[in-house]
Amino acid sequence: MSEYNKPLPPPSVESEPFWDGCRRHELLVPRCDACSHHWFPATTTCPECWSTDWVWSRVSGKGKIYSFGVYHRAYHKGFADELPYALVVVELDEGPRLTTNVVGCKPEELSCDMPVEVVFDDVTDDRTLYKFKRVNDP
């Protein structure tokens, strides 16, 4: 297996539990104890009500495409072989939006509001990325 050559920024103090969840193939987002708001990425305070009481909550992983852009130029050599590739914003059913990739389909098959669900890609021994696929795709 060739060496993984795309960027993998190290987790921050606030994102480490999220990436640990990905490694277990669980999608976790912060949920406020006070107002039940879900948000992403994690911060110390709920952006809705400013409560500091919140938990990492496992979500369904289902959502829909909010929008996307298709790269026709590689800004990083790790992506040169994938052109054209789409950077996709997925809105989870619980509300938060994630920047991600949709696997198993070409950029021209994507559209806004298309239903998608999470899949996990174990890209290295210790890093797993959250990606999405079309609902009903294998």
The footprint of another protein (CB under 8 A) covers 6-12, 15, 41, 47, 66-73, 75-76, 79, 82, 84-85, 87-89, 97-101, 107, 111-113, 129, 131
Minimum CB–partner distance for residue 79 and another protein (Å): 5
Residue 58 is encoded by which pair of tokens?
């496992």
Pairing state of beta strands 28-32 and 62-71? unpaired
Minimum CB–partner distance for residue 46 and another protein (Å): 13
**Residue nearer to another protein on the CB measure, 75 or 126:** 75
Q: Hey, which residues does 32 pair with through a beta bridge?
A: 54
**Residue nearer to another protein on the CB measure, 31 or 88:** 88
Q: Where are the beta strands (DSSP E) in 12-114?
A: 28-32, 54-58, 62-71, 85-92, 97-100, 102-103
Minimum CB–partner distance for residue 103 and another protein (Å): 11
Q: Are 28 and 15 in contact (CB under 8 A)?
A: no
The runs of H, that is alpha helices, within the chain are 16-23
Minimum CB–partner distance for residue 52 and another protein (Å): 19
